[in-house]
Structure 1
Amino acid sequence: MEVDPSQSIFLVPYSIAIMLIIFVHCWFGNDIIYRSGDLTNAIFSSKWIGSKLPTQKTLIMFMAFTKKPLSIHLVSGLFTMSIPVFISICRTTYSSFTILQKFK
């Protein structure tokens, strides 16, 4: 199947826009993972030891819940939005494109 040059004018910006949208989601998903990992350390390094006992218990429970970093899941937990997932998407897309070009 031949691609009309007038169609390729619209195809390239569309492809770039789609990849940019996916990249932004993966970038911020990756940022959430790394920043939520620092949350436990930030709570622990605060002056929580000198506070009242109910506050200490609450902070200890909160630190226990924040041990596992937060993440954005896609397709009901199948994919975690991060930079390695974006790289995997790009590789798979390029591989599929080259295979389809060979069958041309």
Structure 2
Amino acid sequence: MFLLPYSFAIILIIFAHCWFGNDIICRSADLTNAIFSSNWIGSNLTTQKTIILFMTFNKEPLSIHLAGGLFTMAVPVFVSICRTAYSSFTILQKFK
């Protein structure tokens, strides 16, 4: 009786973390593209160097890592977690 609401709450919390982690990845990639698309070529030399340095540091998108860097919080990780949990649940039900 109490297992269903608890399981739903845990799944919702994990989904929220993965959803917003995926959003951070997408937005950080869009940030680098937006800066490159701006009119930074016509600016002064100091600004150009700063923008090139910023784009160099942001080659890889930002992400939230879980379990000491083993997992990146994103939607595919959530799907993988759900599949593993369901598989484990069905195996445990067979032993019941």
Please classify the TM superposition score into its range, dividing by the shorter chain length.
Answer: over 0.9
2: CA distance, partners of 1:83 / 1:91: 13
Unaligned 5+ segments in structure 1 are 1-7
Match among 60, 67, 77 for residue 75 of structure 1: 67
1: CA distance, partners of 2:21 / 2:44: 36
Q: State the Cα deviation string for residues 45-68 of structure 1 (Å, max 9, x = none).
A: 111111110110000010111110
- Which 4+ stretches in 1 moved above 4 angstroms? none
Aligned residues: 96
TM-score w.r.t. structure 2 length?
0.97
1: CA distance, partners of 2:88 / 2:32: 42
Identity %: 78
RMSD of Structure 2 on Structure 1 (CA)? 0.7
1: CA distance, partners of 2:22 / 2:73: 7
User: Whose radius of gyration is greater, 1 or 2?
Assistant: 1
**Is the counterpart of residue 25 in structure 1 residue 17 in structure 2?**
yes
